[in-house]
Structure 1
Amino acid sequence: MENHTVRVLDAQFITHDVKCFKVEKPEGYNFIPGQATEVSINTTEWNDKPRPFTFTNLKEENYLEFMIKIYKEHNGVTNMLGRINKGDELILHDVWGAIQYKGPGVFIAGGAGITPFISIFRDLFIKKQLAGNKLIYSNKTSEDVIMNEELEGMLKDNFIKLFTREKIMGFTGKRIDRKYLIENITDFSQHFYICGSKEFVKSISGYLIDLGAKTDEVVFEKS
């Protein structure tokens, strides 16, 4: 496994608990939109604790970008990443990942599971090939939505947001379940792309296949 030590070029919170990191891009280091790598912090205490994160930038850019949810309540890697700033160093490993674009379809994301789709959407957008794709994005509240304005700008009416715990008057929480999929998807023969927690991916992929989606048309990261 090849390791690359890279310097952080920029680090900013883009939501209340998601931080965006731009880092140096090693020479010859390439990825396909949707892919990921393992990232560790270049300090004695943390350099042997890599965690998987997805690239969110365009592959042609001269830097690499990650959008990482920070769990401040845990004394773990993301908590420490919350303290990482410009000039600090990270360690990147090999590129991997099964989430790759196969053709127009429905993207279904839960929370930080949107990250592999961001690079895919950006790539399709600059190629003018985004037509025919739809995003269904579930979060606890509107404050948790990652890259809301950019996703709205790219996908327009094909960007559907669901909130499970929005605490505003008149709001009823809605989840992506079998009933929701039946009511909102008319064609189960198309491509489906799913990313989120293991439970999220397992339940939604199960619903889709039960409703007629072909197993090889349902794309998700297999653990």
Structure 2
Amino acid sequence: MNTYTVALQGRDEVADRTMAFHFDKPEGFAYKPGQAVDLTLPQQSGAEPQVHTFSLVSAPYQNELAIATRMRDSAYKRALRALADGAQLTLQGPSGSLTLSEKKIRPAVLLAGGIGITPFLSMLRQATHDASPRPLALLYSNRRPEDAAFLHELQQLAQRNPHMRLIATMTQMEQSRQPWDGDTGLIDAAKVKRAAEGYDDPIYYLAGPPGLVDFLRDLLEDAGVDEDDIRSEEFFGY
């Protein structure tokens, strides 16, 4: 992986306790939607370097790099939050193989839980920008609308992209303060079947907490999906 110095350009809240961080894009930095970077914070005197791997939510066509993360109470997240705009960080990458198949434009069914949406947002942004004819379905699970990072943008992408299908589901609406007229309940075989309806020979991509990814893999295999058509890796940035 190549190493770059990048400057923090800004940040914004994209869901409850979830923030996106925006960085300048180094000249010559090329990546595929779905790939990740290692981000090292400015080192304090005498302290060990703080590094974390994040999927990029930005798409390759954009002139910035961006990540998004739940702001948990960890030393890394506290230091990241405290950075001033303009702070210099070290970036290594890109890395990761959770990218869309290039052999042929097979339909893709993206199954995401929570902040697992990050690699898929990059894919969907790029596909919409490119007017790609690849059929894309996103099944996106969160506890509440308040927790669903980038939900409004995803709804807009689904309106703009005639080849994109979006199914968002909420699992704990009794704890929400916002209205929701979409799907509710956990991802199950029926929801996955609806997401892939009409697709010929789709590939399934999984991202989210390890427990959810394991559950989804078992669900797909029980439904007869070939293991070669299921792609996931340890989720970056959760």
Structure 2 unmatched runs, 5+: none
Match of 2:205 in 1: 193
Aligned-partner Cα distance in 1 for 2:203–2:125: 18
Match of 1:144 in 2: 147
Q: What are structure 1's unaligned runs of at least 5 residues?
A: none
What RMSD over aligned residues (CA atoms) do the two structures have, in Å? 2.6
In structure 2, the residue matched to 1:164 is 171
1:152 positional shift: 0.7
What is the deviation of 1:28? Answer: 2.1
**C-alpha offsets along residues 60-119 of structure 1, whole Å, 9 cap, x if unaligned?**
333211112211xx2321232222341122221121111111232211100000000011
Question: Paired residue for 2:121?
Answer: 118
Kindly, what percent of the aligned residue pairs are identical?
Answer: 24
Q: Matches of residues 1-223 of structure 1 in structure 2 within 5 Å?
A: 2-44=2-44, 48-71=49-72, 74-102=73-101, 103-129=106-132, 132-156=135-159, 158-167=165-174, 174-178=185-189, 180-181=191-192, 185-186=196-197, 189-222=201-234
Q: How far apart in 2 are the matches of 1:121 and 1:194? A: 14
Q: TM-score, normalised by structure 1?
A: 0.87
Distance 2:136 2:231 in 1: 14
Contact 1:109/1:195 (8 A) holds in 2: yes
Which one is further off, 156-165 or 39-48? 39-48
Work out the CA distance in 2 between the residues paired with 1:4 and 1:20.
20
Question: In structure 2, how many angstroms separate the alpha carbons of the residues matched to 1:185 and 1:60?
Answer: 27
Aligned counterparts of 1:150 and 1:184: Cα–Cα separation in 2 = 19
User: Match for 1:175: what amino acid?
Assistant: L
- CA deviation after TM superposition for structure 1 residue 222, in Å: 4.7
Report if the CA contact (8 A) 2:111-2:205 is conserved.
Answer: yes
Deviations along 1:114-145, one digit per CA (max 9) or x if unpaired, are 00001100111011126521111001111011
Q: Larger deviation: 171-180 or 194-203?
A: 171-180
The whole-number CA distance in structure 2 between the counterparts of 1:48 and 1:27 is: 25
State the alpha-carbon separation in 2 of the partners of residues 27 and 76 from structure 1: 30
Return the letter of the residue paired with 2:187: I
Q: TM-score, normalised by structure 2?
A: 0.82
